[in-house]
Amino acid sequence: MPQVKEITASELDTKQFIKEKSEEIARIVGKGTAINALSGGVDSSAVTMLGHKALGERLKTYFIDNGIMREGEPQQIVSIFKKLGVKVEIINAQDEFFAALKGITDPEEKREAITQTFYKKVFGRLVKESGAKHLLQGTILTDVDETVAGIKRQHNVFEQLGIDPQEAFGYKIIEPLVQLRKDGVRKVAEACGLPEATFNRMPFPGPALSARVIGEATREKISLVRKATVIVEQELAKSGAFQYMAILHNDRVTGMRDNKREFGQQIEIRCWDTIDARKASPTRLDFKALEKLADRMVSEVPGVVSVTYNIATKPPSTMEAI
Amino acid sequence: MPQVKEITASELDTKQFIKEKSEEIARIVGKGTAINALSGGVDSSAVTMLGHKALGERLKTYFIDNGIMREGEPQQIVSIFKKLGVKVEIINAQDEFFAALKGITDPEEKREAITQTFYKKVFGRLVKESGAKHLLQGTILTDVDETVAGIKRQHNVFEQLGIDPQEAFGYKIIEPLVQLRKDGVRKVAEACGLPEATFNRMPFPGPALSARVIGEATREKISLVRKATVIVEQELAKSGAFQYMAILHNDRVTGMRDNKREFGQQIEIRCWDTIDARKASPTRLDFKALEKLADRMVSEVPGVVSVTYNIATKPPSTMEAI
């Protein structure tokens, strides 16, 4: 992997960066077309804006609805871009993703099933159908570091897309954010006119809510953790924390309803304070806030009889459970 | 089930109660012998003292080491009674219990396996070998209530012991504490000369540490939760809480050691405030105490990368997880 020259957030001149990168995209794509997948996260949102600036309608942006997004998320994201004059097409691929997740309990296999379905099945098909030879990706420097460190696996993206690298001559990946880290990307996103809900968006994992379900991510479990996520995001919006989440456990624990034993479900809440996401500690939330969270979970999320709060630091924990 | 006349803790005259109950035991057993199983809990400890007062050496008391007790517990209990002049015989039945628990993940089946092994295999054998026709049991009024309410199942104890009720004519259960609730039993235990560690002992479940392991209770998992239990009991001894515990989850969560992903184990800590154990709420522990607990868990219990604190109330939670 070639050495990438980092641009730190403090040395970043956003105006200059946006100008250079959109010119670069325009130059590379020439008279052709490009395609990208928007997840709604800050990286892919910034890339969408840069690509749109460079190519206008010649950039085709898709939002792939995998069925494991948060409540109302696909519509919200499309609406944000609509206001900025960027058309995003929603692809309903829920059935394909749930079929791929069926029966899978191992976290790595779950990630892999989502990755494969995203690249090979859904996005791969879109790329091929579009005829676009250029693909915009929101890779950032931290992704590169983690690939080198062996935390994330390095992929040949076109191979992932089911496009034979031999036949695929001419296909090109454009990664305009690869010199930046998250803080730099946020600055670029803001300068591109994206709203604060996007440029300061809390990190959300690629495997979305399936990363918040331990064990098999069925439609039913995703629906439960989606409800729990709404509660956590409402209650902790003003916590000032870096990231907060609800995790639905696979383990069953004993509960009691109407004086009868009920083997119910457990929700774990995590809320993280961190400077650089490399080390993090649980936010010292007020006990009243914790109790309110627990009360809402057991009364609003069907089948939940138990709620916990994460108290371990990263490391040895990670921020996400999966 | 015949109506039992409750004696409340406030109206209880312990001296009178001990005199009456030990006379009653002596009268029922006559010149025969009796047997009982001591778990170290306040109920079976009080019964052991009453029985010993009534029968002396004609009461044979066993402590069945099922392999799922806390660190050093069998030896501590024997030593407490030795100081009071009561001989307790330890029966090492670890292999039998772990064999019975093998492969069982359902909480009800786990309880049942322990109950069956205790009654039919181990204690049943001891009763038959002893020739005793009288069995002392620490049943209290709350146990009766819960049986009536369908929370605990009612059992014919001799049937449980593998003794045919038809042939078993003459076998008799003696339940000297059945009119009392826990607070009354504590007063009796204290008046019998038992140390505070016994009469104010924190509640501990019948299925012992196997109730603190979600999923299969293997020797390895029991050993991990035993280590976690030592830490919780050390750190929270001065919390003033009613009960505190460590639970080893079956779910695996992602952790990080030496920059490498590790699917590790999670410990849940519960600490309860309650008046009457029917309703309970999580103790509002100081965050520094929670962080210290978490740090000790991840550094002292092998494989643990995540620690949570229960924040839900009873109901709908129960105090134990299983």
Contacts for B145 with CB less than 8 Å, ≥ 6 apart? none
Contacts for A55 with CB less than 8 Å, ≥ 6 apart? A25, A26, A29, A33, A34
Count how many Cα atoms sit within 13 Å of the Cα of residue B141 in the half-sphere of its side chain.
14
Q: Which of A150, A249, A312 sits opposite B294 (nearest CB)?
A: A312
Please determine, for residue B267, whether its predicted confidence score (pLDDT) is greater than 80.
Answer: yes
Q: In chain A, which residue's Cα lies nearest the Cα of B255?
A: A317
List the alpha helices (DSSP H) in chain B.
14-29, 42-55, 73-83, 94-101, 107-116, 124-130, 141-148, 157-160, 182-191, 196-199, 219-236, 287-300
- Return the residue in A268, A308, A309, A313 with the most chain B beta carbons within 10 A, the one to mutate for interface testing: A308
Q: Which of B107, B311, B314 sits opposite A263 (nearest CB)?
A: B107
Residue showing tokens 């009691």: A256
Across the range B3-29, mean pLDDT stands at 95
Percent of chain B exceeding pLDDT 90 equals 76
Q: How far apart are CA A77 and CA A45, in angstroms?
A: 9
**Cβ–Cβ of B306/A317 closer than 8 Å?**
yes
The whole-number pLDDT of residue A230 equals 98
Tokens of residue A104, six digits = 């899978």
| Bridge partners of residue A62, in order along the sequence | A37, A89
Q: In chain A, which residue's Cα lies nearest the Cα of B249?
A: A251
The whole-number pLDDT of residue B203 equals 86
Q: How do residues B64-89 score in pLDDT, each as one tens digit?
A: 999 999 999 999 999 999 999 999 99
Q: What is the complex's ipTM, to 2 decimals?
A: 0.86
B286-302 in b/e form (b: 16+ CB < 10 A) is: ebebbbebbebbbeebe
- Return the residue in B145, B251, B286 with the most chain A beta carbons within 10 A, the one to mutate for interface testing: B251
Provide the Cα torsion A252, A100, A206, A45; round to 10°: -140
**Cβ–Cβ of B297/A312 closer than 8 Å?**
yes
Residues of chain A neighbouring B312 (CB-CB closer than 8 A)? 294, 297-298, 305-308
For the ranges A33-37, A255-259, B5-9, B71-75, the lowest mean pLDDT is seen at A255-259
Please determine, for residue B34, whether its predicted confidence score (pLDDT) is greater than 80.
Answer: yes
B108 band by pLDDT with thresholds 50, 70 and 90: confident
- Shortest distance, CA B44 to any CA of chain A (angstroms): 25
The whole-number pLDDT of residue B144 equals 80
Whole-number Cα distances in Å, B17 to A194, B10, B180: 78, 13, 10
**Cβ–Cβ of B306/A310 closer than 8 Å?**
yes
B62-92 in b/e form (b: 16+ CB < 10 A) is: bbbbbbbbbeebbeebbebbeeeebebeebe
Please determine, for residue B107, whether its predicted confidence score (pLDDT) is greater than 80.
Answer: yes
Q: How far apart are CA A33 and CA B43, in angstroms?
A: 79
Q: How far apart are CA A27 and CA A31, in angstroms?
A: 9
Across the range A169-179, mean pLDDT stands at 86
Residues of chain B neighbouring A256 (CB-CB closer than 8 A)? 314-318
Please determine, for residue B270, whether its predicted confidence score (pLDDT) is greater than 90.
Answer: yes
Q: How far apart are CA A195 and CA B302, in angstroms?
A: 45
B165 band by pLDDT with thresholds 50, 70 and 90: low
Tokens of residue A170, six digits = 């001419």
- State how beta strands B59-65 and B88-92 pair: parallel
- Shortest distance, CA A36 to any CA of chain B (angstroms): 30
The whole-number pLDDT of residue A167 equals 67
The whole-number pLDDT of residue A261 equals 84
**Cβ–Cβ of A312/B305 closer than 8 Å?**
yes
A222 band by pLDDT with thresholds 50, 70 and 90: very high
Are B318 and A255 within 8 A, CB to CB? yes
Q: In chain B, which residue's Cα lies nearest the Cα of A270?
A: B308
Residue showing tokens 């992929």: A155
Residues of chain A neighbouring B262 (CB-CB closer than 8 A)? 316
**Cβ–Cβ of B214/A253 closer than 8 Å?**
yes
Q: How far apart are CA A297 and CA B31, in angstroms?
A: 60
- Return the residue in A235, A253, A270 with the most chain B beta carbons within 10 A, the one to mutate for interface testing: A253
Cα of A85 vs its chain's centroid, Å: 23
Please determine, for residue B153, whether its predicted confidence score (pLDDT) is greater than 80.
Answer: no
**Cβ–Cβ of B314/A256 closer than 8 Å?**
yes
User: For residue A116, what is the DSSP state?
Assistant: H
B127-149 in b/e form (b: 16+ CB < 10 A) is: beeeebbbbbbbbbbbbbeeeee
Percent of chain B exceeding pLDDT 70 equals 93
- State how beta strands A260-274 and A243-257 pair: antiparallel
CB-based burial label for A121 (10 Å; 0-12, 13-18, 19+): middle
Mean pLDDT of chain A: 92
More confident residue, B203 or B69: B69
Q: CA A46, A41, A233, B263 torsion: positive or negative?
A: negative
Please determine, for residue B157, whether its predicted confidence score (pLDDT) is greater than 70.
Answer: no
B274 band by pLDDT with thresholds 50, 70 and 90: very high
The whole-number pLDDT of residue B91 equals 97
Residue showing tokens 């009800």: B108
Across the range A133-155, mean pLDDT stands at 77
**Cβ–Cβ of B214/A314 closer than 8 Å?**
no
Q: DSSP string of A254-290?
A: EEEETTEEEEEEEEEEEEEEESSSSSEEE----HHHH
Percent of chain A exceeding pLDDT 70 equals 93
- Shortest distance, CA A207 to any CA of chain B (angstroms): 14
The whole-number pLDDT of residue A168 equals 63
For the ranges A106-120, B40-54, B188-202, the lowest mean pLDDT is seen at A106-120
Whole-number Cα distances in Å, B42 to B39, B187, B188: 9, 10, 9
Cα of A267 vs its chain's centroid, Å: 21
Q: How do residues A252-292 score in pLDDT, each as one tens digit?
A: 999 988 888 888 999 999 999 998 888 999 999 999 999 99
Percent of chain A exceeding pLDDT 90 equals 76
The whole-number pLDDT of residue B166 equals 58
Residues of chain A neighbouring B253 (CB-CB closer than 8 A)? 214, 317-318, 321-322
- Shortest distance, CA A169 to any CA of chain B (angstroms): 35
Mean pLDDT of chain B: 92
Contacts for A94 with CB less than 8 Å, ≥ 6 apart? A65, A66, A67
Are A270 and A314 within 8 A, CB to CB? no
Please determine, for residue B1, whether its predicted confidence score (pLDDT) is greater than 90.
Answer: no
Say if pTM beats, i.e. exceeds, 0.90: no
Q: Which of A215, A263, A305 sits opposite B317 (nearest CB)?
A: A305
| Apex B283 CA angle, B279 and B285, nearest 5 | 175
Q: Which of A151, A249, A291 sits opposite B311 (nearest CB)?
A: A291
Residue showing tokens 């030496």: B258
**Cβ–Cβ of B307/A311 closer than 8 Å?**
yes
The whole-number pLDDT of residue A228 equals 98
- Shortest distance, CA B135 to any CA of chain A (angstroms): 30
- State how beta strands A34-37 and A59-65 pair: parallel
Neighbours of B33 (CB within 10 A): 16
Q: How do residues A52-86 score in pLDDT, each as one tens digit?
A: 999 999 999 999 999 999 999 999 999 999 999 99
